[in-house]
């Protein structure tokens, strides 16, 4: 088997760290791994396959000889460096919002639309969807194939790790401060996140939705290749360290029962059904953290409409919602296209 030169851009961030870990776990055929980050990461070393490697400064010349670039360093960085990498012959798998809605760039969830990876030849870039969109479409695609989904109403309960390491630290420090009767310091979010919920992720747009909510609306339609699906979202940041939870309501074209949904999802790729109300078994953020699967439970009929289903979907936002999805794309890329 051929080995590949791989670069991780944003290697010192939470997603970058997870990408390196997953490349090792899944024994991705790496010939040489290049770790790239900003100037402030100079001198840092990260471990890969039992050896420490220095982090290099990201520059336009960084992609000479690189086959695959896993980007997770912010949209501005991707906008500047992804085209440079692609021009150097590197296939970019980008975890930011920079290219997701560009028509000629594929937006891929391997369990849902792997065939779209072939479009990478257009511009040498493949986009990784938003974390909350990924877990939702993994759970919904098998149902959509069976009975076609007409409408999706989703409310998310998103962990602070989606914002990054500083948010994880802030939740921890605020929790300690409040428990000790001290005033919590607020820096990362507009308000304190400890013992609180913030119905505000990313910036507000002219239509009253946040950018995060509109990502879910637009990305879902593109990934499922069905612009007629009606989607509405409310995204909420909650005081959880890892794993996003989602309450999803769907209206389908044809009638489907909860038992049929469980049966379909029990064999769906990347899905683990955890649905036993009598035994008090349902998906939990603490159980999803560190796992590859998207957990689905609380599957029940929406009794307010003729063809409706409710469900609760949980997944690790850093893992399946970002790093793992990118590496899975890379696996298909080398298996079928490179």
The closest alpha carbon to 290, from 313, 315, 265, belongs to 315
Catalytic hit among 90, 131, 144, 242: 131
Give the list of residues 6+ apart from residue 103 with CB closer than 8 angstroms, or none. Answer: none
Question: How far is it, in rounded angstroms, from Cα 330 to Cα 338?
Answer: 10
The 4-9 sheet, strands edge to edge: 56-57, 30-37, 4-9, 68-71, 91-94, 125-127
Question: How far is it, in rounded angstroms, from Cα 313 to Cα 154?
Answer: 10
User: For 207, phi and psi rounded to 5 degrees?
Assistant: -85, 5
Which spans in the chain are helix H? 14-25, 75-87, 131-147, 165-179, 211-223, 258-266, 285-288, 324-332
Residue 244 is a catalytic residue: yes
CA distances from 329 to 23, 82, 127, 273, 325 (A): 12, 16, 10, 24, 6
Question: How far is it, in rounded angstroms, from Cα 320 to Cα 131?
Answer: 8
Catalytic hit among 90, 144, 242, 244: 244
Query: Residue 269 in 3-state DSSP?
Result: coil
Residue 131 is a catalytic residue: yes
**How do strand 244-252 and strand 125-127 relate by DSSP bridges?**
unpaired
Question: How far is it, in rounded angstroms, from Cα 148 to Cα 164?
Answer: 36
Tell me the Cα Rg of the chain: 20
Q: Residue 261 in contact with residue 249, Cβ under 8 Å? A: no
Active site residues: 131, 244
């Amino acid at each position: 088997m051929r080995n590949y030169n791989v670069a991780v851009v944003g290697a010192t961030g939470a997603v970058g760290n997870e990408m390196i870990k997953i490349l090792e776990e899944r024994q991705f055929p790496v010939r040489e791994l290049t770790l790239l980050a900003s100037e402030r990461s100079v001198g840092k070393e990260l471990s890969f396959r039992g050896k420490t490697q220095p982090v290099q400064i990201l520059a336009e010349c960084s992609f000479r000889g690189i086959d695959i670039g896993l980007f997770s360093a912010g949209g501005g960085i991707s906008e500047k460096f992804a085209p440079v990498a692609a021009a150097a012959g590197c296939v970019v798998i980008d975890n930011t919002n920079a290219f997701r809605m560009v028509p000629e760039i594929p937006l891929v969830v391997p369990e849902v639309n792997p065939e779209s990876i072939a479009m990478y030849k257009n511009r040498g870039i493949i986009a990784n969807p938003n974390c909350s969109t990924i877990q939702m479409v993994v759970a919904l695609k098998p149902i959509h194939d069976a009975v076609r989904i007409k409408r999706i109403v989703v409310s998310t309960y998103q962990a602070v790790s989606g914002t990054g390491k500083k948010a994880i630290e802030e939740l921890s420090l605020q929790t300690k401060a409040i428990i000790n009767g001290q005033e919590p310091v607020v820096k990362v979010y507009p308000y304190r996140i400890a013992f609180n919920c913030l119905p505000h992720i990313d910036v507000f747009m002219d239509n009253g939705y946040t950018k995060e909510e509109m990502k879910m609306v637009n990305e879902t339609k593109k990934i499922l290749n069905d612009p007629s699906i009606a989607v509405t979202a409310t995204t909420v940041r909650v005081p959880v360290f890892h794993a996003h939870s989602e309450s999803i309501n769907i209206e389908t074209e044809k009638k489907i029962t909860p038992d049929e949904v469980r049966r379909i999802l029990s064999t769906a790729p990347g899905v683990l059904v955890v649905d036993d109300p009598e035994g008090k078994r349902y998906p939990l953020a603490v159980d999803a953290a560190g796992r590859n699967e998207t957990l689905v439970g609380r599957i029940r009929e929406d009794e307010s409409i003729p063809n409706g289903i409710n469900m609760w979907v949980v997944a690790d936002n850093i893992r399946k919602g970002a790093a793992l999805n990118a590496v899975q794309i890379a696996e298909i890329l080398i298996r079928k296209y490179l």
